[in-house]
Amino acid sequence: MNNPGNNPENKTGATPPTIGVFDSGFGGLTVLRALIQRLPRARFAFLGDTARLPYGSKSRRTIARYAAESAQFLVNEQDAEFLVIACNTASALALDAIQDAVPVPVLGVIEPGAEAAWAASRAGDVLVIATDATVQSHAYAAACRARGLRALEKACPLLVPLVEEGWTAHAVTAEVIRIYLEELNAEAAAQGMKPDTLVLGCTHYPLLRPLIERAVPAGMRVIDSAEAAAEAALRHFNGRAAPAAAPSAGQDAPPEPQLRCFATDSVEKFERLGSRFLNRPVGKVELVDLGG
Ligand code: DGL
Protein backbone atom coordinates (compact mmCIF):
# COMPACT_ATOMS: atom_id res chain seq x y z
CA MET A 1 0.00 0.00 0.00
CA ASN A 2 1.22 3.48 -0.80
CA ASN A 3 2.11 5.37 2.35
CA PRO A 4 2.64 9.10 1.82
CA GLY A 5 4.14 9.82 5.23
CA ASN A 6 3.09 12.92 7.12
CA ASN A 7 3.49 15.32 4.24
CA PRO A 8 0.15 16.31 2.72
CA GLU A 9 1.76 15.56 -0.61
CA ASN A 10 2.59 11.92 -1.27
CA LYS A 11 5.93 10.50 -2.38
CA THR A 12 5.12 11.06 -6.03
CA GLY A 13 4.42 14.73 -5.28
CA ALA A 14 0.79 14.29 -6.22
CA THR A 15 -1.74 16.46 -4.40
CA PRO A 16 -4.01 14.52 -2.04
CA PRO A 17 -7.49 14.02 -3.46
CA THR A 18 -10.41 16.06 -2.21
CA ILE A 19 -13.26 13.81 -1.18
CA GLY A 20 -16.69 15.40 -1.04
CA VAL A 21 -19.01 13.99 1.62
CA PHE A 22 -22.63 14.95 1.74
CA ASP A 23 -25.68 14.41 3.96
CA SER A 24 -28.84 16.30 4.76
CA GLY A 25 -27.53 16.99 8.27
CA PHE A 26 -25.16 15.75 10.98
CA GLY A 27 -25.68 12.03 10.33
CA GLY A 28 -23.13 11.96 7.54
CA LEU A 29 -20.45 12.85 10.08
CA THR A 30 -20.54 9.17 11.10
CA VAL A 31 -19.38 8.33 7.58
CA LEU A 32 -16.85 11.18 7.54
CA ARG A 33 -15.37 9.89 10.80
CA ALA A 34 -14.87 6.43 9.27
CA LEU A 35 -13.39 7.97 6.10
CA ILE A 36 -10.90 10.13 8.01
CA GLN A 37 -9.72 7.04 9.92
CA ARG A 38 -9.02 5.20 6.68
CA LEU A 39 -7.92 8.06 4.44
CA PRO A 40 -6.25 10.40 6.93
CA ARG A 41 -4.28 12.32 4.34
CA ALA A 42 -7.06 13.08 1.94
CA ARG A 43 -8.72 16.48 1.94
CA PHE A 44 -12.37 16.43 2.92
CA ALA A 45 -15.20 18.81 2.11
CA PHE A 46 -18.36 17.97 4.07
CA LEU A 47 -21.73 19.51 3.26
CA GLY A 48 -24.75 19.21 5.53
CA ASP A 49 -27.86 20.44 3.72
CA THR A 50 -29.36 21.47 7.06
CA ALA A 51 -31.71 24.08 5.56
CA ARG A 52 -33.58 21.40 3.62
CA LEU A 53 -33.41 18.53 6.14
CA PRO A 54 -35.14 16.13 6.54
CA TYR A 55 -34.81 14.46 3.16
CA GLY A 56 -36.44 11.31 4.51
CA SER A 57 -39.99 12.64 4.37
CA LYS A 58 -39.72 14.11 0.86
CA SER A 59 -40.45 12.82 -2.64
CA ARG A 60 -37.89 11.20 -4.94
CA ARG A 61 -38.02 14.21 -7.26
CA THR A 62 -37.25 16.71 -4.48
CA ILE A 63 -34.55 14.52 -2.93
CA ALA A 64 -32.91 14.10 -6.34
CA ARG A 65 -32.87 17.88 -6.93
CA TYR A 66 -31.45 18.67 -3.47
CA ALA A 67 -28.86 15.90 -3.72
CA ALA A 68 -27.75 16.88 -7.24
CA GLU A 69 -27.32 20.52 -6.17
CA SER A 70 -25.33 19.48 -3.11
CA ALA A 71 -23.12 17.20 -5.21
CA GLN A 72 -22.51 19.97 -7.76
CA PHE A 73 -21.45 22.34 -4.99
CA LEU A 74 -18.86 19.86 -3.74
CA VAL A 75 -17.51 19.08 -7.20
CA ASN A 76 -17.75 22.48 -8.92
CA GLU A 77 -16.89 24.74 -6.00
CA GLN A 78 -14.76 22.53 -3.74
CA ASP A 79 -13.01 20.51 -6.46
CA ALA A 80 -14.07 17.16 -5.03
CA GLU A 81 -12.84 14.39 -7.28
CA PHE A 82 -14.74 11.64 -5.50
CA LEU A 83 -18.10 11.85 -3.77
CA VAL A 84 -19.42 9.83 -0.86
CA ILE A 85 -23.16 10.16 -0.45
CA ALA A 86 -23.26 9.84 3.34
CA CYS A 87 -27.04 9.67 3.32
CA ASN A 88 -29.06 6.51 2.83
CA THR A 89 -32.09 8.47 1.61
CA ALA A 90 -30.15 10.22 -1.17
CA SER A 91 -28.32 6.97 -1.98
CA ALA A 92 -31.59 5.04 -2.20
CA LEU A 93 -33.53 7.57 -4.26
CA ALA A 94 -31.08 9.77 -6.08
CA LEU A 95 -27.84 7.94 -6.84
CA ASP A 96 -28.54 8.00 -10.61
CA ALA A 97 -29.48 11.68 -10.52
CA ILE A 98 -26.27 12.51 -8.63
CA GLN A 99 -24.15 10.45 -11.04
CA ASP A 100 -25.75 12.30 -13.96
CA ALA A 101 -25.12 15.68 -12.31
CA VAL A 102 -21.36 15.37 -11.69
CA PRO A 103 -18.41 14.02 -13.69
CA VAL A 104 -16.70 12.21 -10.78
CA PRO A 105 -17.13 8.75 -9.21
CA VAL A 106 -19.98 8.62 -6.68
CA LEU A 107 -20.22 6.13 -3.82
CA GLY A 108 -23.54 5.54 -2.06
CA VAL A 109 -24.06 3.78 1.25
CA ILE A 110 -26.81 1.25 0.45
CA GLU A 111 -24.69 -1.35 -1.33
CA PRO A 112 -21.90 -1.28 1.29
CA GLY A 113 -24.59 -1.52 4.00
CA ALA A 114 -26.22 -4.55 2.39
CA GLU A 115 -22.80 -6.13 1.93
CA ALA A 116 -22.03 -5.64 5.62
CA ALA A 117 -25.41 -7.19 6.50
CA TRP A 118 -24.63 -10.19 4.33
CA ALA A 119 -21.27 -10.62 6.06
CA ALA A 120 -22.84 -10.33 9.52
CA SER A 121 -25.98 -12.46 9.20
CA ARG A 122 -25.90 -16.20 9.72
CA ALA A 123 -29.68 -16.66 9.70
CA GLY A 124 -30.16 -14.75 6.45
CA ASP A 125 -32.95 -12.68 8.01
CA VAL A 126 -32.18 -9.02 8.46
CA LEU A 127 -34.02 -6.02 9.94
CA VAL A 128 -33.52 -2.54 8.51
CA ILE A 129 -34.48 0.75 10.14
CA ALA A 130 -34.40 3.84 7.96
CA THR A 131 -36.23 6.99 6.94
CA ASP A 132 -39.67 6.87 5.34
CA ALA A 133 -38.33 7.57 1.87
CA THR A 134 -35.61 4.90 2.10
CA VAL A 135 -38.13 2.32 3.28
CA GLN A 136 -40.63 3.27 0.54
CA SER A 137 -37.89 2.83 -2.07
CA HIS A 138 -37.18 -0.72 -0.79
CA ALA A 139 -33.58 -0.16 -1.85
CA TYR A 140 -32.29 -2.18 1.13
CA ALA A 141 -34.75 -5.03 0.54
CA ALA A 142 -33.58 -5.23 -3.08
CA ALA A 143 -29.88 -5.03 -2.21
CA CYS A 144 -30.36 -7.70 0.49
CA ARG A 145 -32.41 -9.94 -1.83
CA ALA A 146 -29.61 -9.74 -4.40
CA ARG A 147 -27.36 -11.28 -1.74
CA GLY A 148 -29.80 -14.01 -0.72
CA LEU A 149 -30.97 -12.23 2.43
CA ARG A 150 -34.56 -11.60 3.54
CA ALA A 151 -35.02 -8.05 4.86
CA LEU A 152 -37.83 -6.46 6.82
CA GLU A 153 -37.70 -2.65 6.72
CA LYS A 154 -39.22 -0.12 9.13
CA ALA A 155 -39.43 3.65 8.92
CA CYS A 156 -38.41 5.44 12.13
CA PRO A 157 -39.13 9.09 11.30
CA LEU A 158 -38.75 10.43 14.83
CA LEU A 159 -35.09 9.47 15.13
CA VAL A 160 -33.52 12.05 12.77
CA PRO A 161 -35.04 15.09 14.56
CA LEU A 162 -33.93 13.65 17.91
CA VAL A 163 -30.34 13.37 16.66
CA GLU A 164 -30.43 16.84 15.10
CA GLU A 165 -31.57 18.11 18.52
CA GLY A 166 -28.52 16.46 20.08
CA TRP A 167 -30.69 14.08 22.15
CA THR A 168 -28.47 11.10 21.46
CA ALA A 169 -28.50 9.82 25.05
CA HIS A 170 -31.90 11.13 26.17
CA ALA A 171 -34.49 8.95 27.92
CA VAL A 172 -37.14 10.05 25.41
CA THR A 173 -34.97 8.84 22.55
CA ALA A 174 -34.37 5.51 24.31
CA GLU A 175 -38.12 5.04 24.70
CA VAL A 176 -38.82 5.91 21.05
CA ILE A 177 -36.18 3.37 19.96
CA ARG A 178 -37.64 0.72 22.27
CA ILE A 179 -41.12 1.16 20.76
CA TYR A 180 -39.90 1.10 17.15
CA LEU A 181 -37.81 -2.03 17.70
CA GLU A 182 -40.56 -3.81 19.62
CA GLU A 183 -42.94 -3.21 16.70
CA LEU A 184 -40.36 -4.35 14.19
CA ASN A 185 -39.48 -7.52 16.08
CA ALA A 186 -43.18 -8.36 16.50
CA GLU A 187 -43.71 -7.92 12.75
CA ALA A 188 -40.69 -10.11 12.01
CA ALA A 189 -42.00 -12.84 14.32
CA ALA A 190 -45.44 -12.63 12.67
CA GLN A 191 -43.76 -13.23 9.32
CA GLY A 192 -41.86 -16.24 10.66
CA MET A 193 -38.50 -14.49 10.38
CA LYS A 194 -35.61 -15.15 12.75
CA PRO A 195 -33.53 -11.99 12.30
CA ASP A 196 -30.03 -11.87 13.77
CA THR A 197 -28.87 -8.56 12.27
CA LEU A 198 -30.14 -4.99 12.43
CA VAL A 199 -29.01 -2.57 9.75
CA LEU A 200 -28.90 1.11 10.68
CA GLY A 201 -30.16 2.30 7.31
CA CYS A 202 -29.79 6.00 8.05
CA THR A 203 -26.49 7.70 8.75
CA HIS A 204 -28.01 9.53 11.70
CA TYR A 205 -28.68 6.28 13.56
CA PRO A 206 -25.08 5.29 14.43
CA LEU A 207 -25.12 8.33 16.73
CA LEU A 208 -27.81 6.43 18.67
CA ARG A 209 -25.91 3.16 18.60
CA PRO A 210 -25.46 2.77 22.39
CA LEU A 211 -29.22 3.19 22.91
CA ILE A 212 -30.05 0.89 20.00
CA GLU A 213 -27.67 -1.83 21.21
CA ARG A 214 -29.39 -1.75 24.59
CA ALA A 215 -32.80 -2.20 22.94
CA VAL A 216 -32.11 -5.10 20.54
CA PRO A 217 -32.58 -8.75 21.54
CA ALA A 218 -29.45 -10.41 22.95
CA GLY A 219 -27.08 -11.61 20.26
CA MET A 220 -28.41 -9.38 17.47
CA ARG A 221 -25.65 -7.77 15.41
CA VAL A 222 -26.01 -4.04 14.83
CA ILE A 223 -24.32 -2.75 11.72
CA ASP A 224 -24.09 0.56 9.94
CA SER A 225 -22.95 1.37 6.45
CA ALA A 226 -20.41 4.02 7.48
CA GLU A 227 -17.60 1.54 8.05
CA ALA A 228 -18.44 -0.47 4.94
CA ALA A 229 -18.69 2.68 2.81
CA ALA A 230 -15.33 3.92 4.11
CA GLU A 231 -13.75 0.55 3.20
CA ALA A 232 -15.16 0.89 -0.32
CA ALA A 233 -13.69 4.41 -0.59
CA LEU A 234 -10.33 3.09 0.61
CA ARG A 235 -10.41 0.43 -2.12
CA HIS A 236 -11.11 3.12 -4.70
CA PHE A 237 -8.05 5.13 -3.73
CA ASN A 238 -5.83 2.08 -3.42
CA GLY A 239 -6.56 1.39 -7.05
CA ARG A 240 -4.33 4.29 -8.11
CA ALA A 241 -1.37 6.22 -6.67
CA ALA A 242 -3.35 6.98 -3.53
CA PRO A 243 -2.10 9.42 -0.93
CA ALA A 244 -3.99 7.55 1.77
CA ALA A 245 -2.90 5.11 4.38
CA ALA A 246 -5.06 2.99 6.65
CA PRO A 247 -4.28 3.39 10.34
CA SER A 248 -2.72 0.43 12.04
CA ALA A 249 -4.67 -1.44 14.74
CA GLY A 250 -5.64 0.74 17.69
CA GLN A 251 -4.34 3.89 16.04
CA ASP A 252 -6.76 6.77 15.51
CA ALA A 253 -6.58 9.29 12.67
CA PRO A 254 -3.88 11.99 12.76
CA PRO A 255 -4.90 15.02 14.83
CA GLU A 256 -5.49 17.48 12.02
CA PRO A 257 -7.23 16.17 8.95
CA GLN A 258 -7.66 18.65 6.13
CA LEU A 259 -11.34 19.30 6.53
CA ARG A 260 -13.74 22.04 5.51
CA CYS A 261 -17.34 21.85 6.66
CA PHE A 262 -20.26 23.60 5.00
CA ALA A 263 -23.90 23.85 6.00
CA THR A 264 -26.89 25.44 4.32
CA ASP A 265 -28.25 26.65 7.70
CA SER A 266 -27.54 26.66 11.47
CA VAL A 267 -23.75 26.89 11.30
CA GLU A 268 -23.40 27.59 15.04
CA LYS A 269 -25.35 24.46 15.90
CA PHE A 270 -23.27 22.51 13.38
CA GLU A 271 -20.06 23.73 15.05
CA ARG A 272 -21.34 22.76 18.49
CA LEU A 273 -22.85 19.33 17.73
CA GLY A 274 -20.62 18.50 14.77
CA SER A 275 -17.44 18.39 16.83
CA ARG A 276 -19.15 16.06 19.28
CA PHE A 277 -20.39 13.73 16.56
CA LEU A 278 -17.14 13.75 14.59
CA ASN A 279 -15.02 13.30 17.71
CA ARG A 280 -12.73 16.15 16.68
CA PRO A 281 -13.17 19.88 16.07
CA VAL A 282 -15.04 20.67 12.87
CA GLY A 283 -13.53 24.15 12.83
CA LYS A 284 -15.35 27.12 11.37
CA VAL A 285 -18.42 25.91 9.49
CA GLU A 286 -19.11 27.92 6.35
CA LEU A 287 -22.62 28.91 5.32
CA VAL A 288 -23.68 28.00 1.77
CA ASP A 289 -26.80 29.04 -0.11
CA LEU A 290 -27.97 26.34 -2.51
CA GLY A 291 -31.30 28.02 -3.17
CA GLY A 292 -34.72 26.72 -2.11
N1 DGL B 1 -29.04 10.81 7.24
C2 DGL B 1 -30.01 10.59 6.20
C3 DGL B 1 -30.03 9.12 5.79
O4 DGL B 1 -29.03 8.45 5.93
C5 DGL B 1 -31.43 11.03 6.39
C6 DGL B 1 -31.79 12.19 7.21
C7 DGL B 1 -32.98 12.93 6.64
O8 DGL B 1 -34.13 12.46 6.72
O9 DGL B 1 -32.72 13.98 6.07
O10 DGL B 1 -31.02 8.64 5.32
Q: HEC profile for the chain?
A: CCCCCCCCCCCCCCCCCEEEEEECCCCCHHHHHHHHHHCCCCEEEEEECCCCCCCCCCCHHHHHHHHHHHHHHHHHHCCCCEEEECCHHHHHHHHHHHHHHCCCCEECCHHHHHHHHHHHCCCCEEEEEECHHHHHHCHHHHHHHCCCCEEEEEECCCHHHHHHCCCCCCHHHHHHHHHHHHHHHHHHHHCCCCCCEEEECCCCHHHHHHHHHHHCCCCCEEEEHHHHHHHHHHHHHHCCCCCCCCCCCCCCCCCCCEEEEEECCCHHHHHHHHHHHHCCCCCCCEECCCCC
Q: Can 87 be counted among the known catalytic residues?
A: yes
Give yes or no: residues 216 and 127 share one domain: yes
Domain carrying residue 58:
4-109+230-287
Q: Which of 70, 204, 225, 265 most suits a substitution to test ligand 1, by most atoms within 8 Å of the C-beta? A: 204
Give yes or no: residues 210 and 123 share one domain: yes
- Whether the model clears a pTM of 0.75, i.e. scores above it, the answer is yes
Q: How far is the CA of 279 from the centre of ligand 1 (A)?
A: 20
pLDDT tens digits, 273-292? 898 889 888 989 999 999 87
Q: Is 203 in the pocket of ligand 1 (CB under 6 A)?
A: yes
Domain boundary among 191, 225, 259: 225
Give the residue whose CA is nearest to atom 2 of ligand 1.
87
Give yes or no: residues 170 and 247 share one domain: no
Per-residue pLDDT at 287: 97
Q: Is 50 in the pocket of ligand 1 (CB under 6 A)?
A: no
Q: Is residue 19 part of a domain?
A: yes
Q: Is 264 in the pocket of ligand 1 (CB under 6 A)?
A: no
Domain boundary among 201, 225, 249: 225
Give yes or no: residues 122 and 206 share one domain: yes
Q: Is 204 in the pocket of ligand 1 (CB under 6 A)?
A: yes
Q: Can 202 be counted among the known catalytic residues?
A: yes
Q: Is residue 99 part of a domain?
A: yes
Give yes or no: residues 122 and 218 share one domain: yes
Domain count, the chain: 2
pLDDT tens digits, 157-183? 999 999 989 999 999 999 999 999 999
Above 50 in pLDDT, residue 253?
no
Q: Is 30 in the pocket of ligand 1 (CB under 6 A)?
A: no
Above 90 in pLDDT, residue 265?
yes
Which atom in ligand 1 lies closest to the alpha carbon of residue 24? Answer: 9
Give yes or no: residues 169 and 254 share one domain: no
Give the residue whose CA is nearest to atom 8 of ligand 1.
56
- 189: domain CATH number is 3.40.50.1860
Give yes or no: residues 20 and 42 share one domain: yes
Q: Is residue 81 part of a domain?
A: yes
Give yes or no: residues 94 and 134 share one domain: no
Per-residue pLDDT at 254: 53
Q: How far is the CA of 132 from the centre of ligand 1 (A)?
A: 9
Over residues 217-227, mean pLDDT: 92
Which atom in ligand 1 lies closest to the alpha carbon of residue 89? Answer: 10
Q: Is residue 129 part of a domain?
A: yes
Of the candidates 144, 156, 202, 261, the residue annotated as catalytic is 202
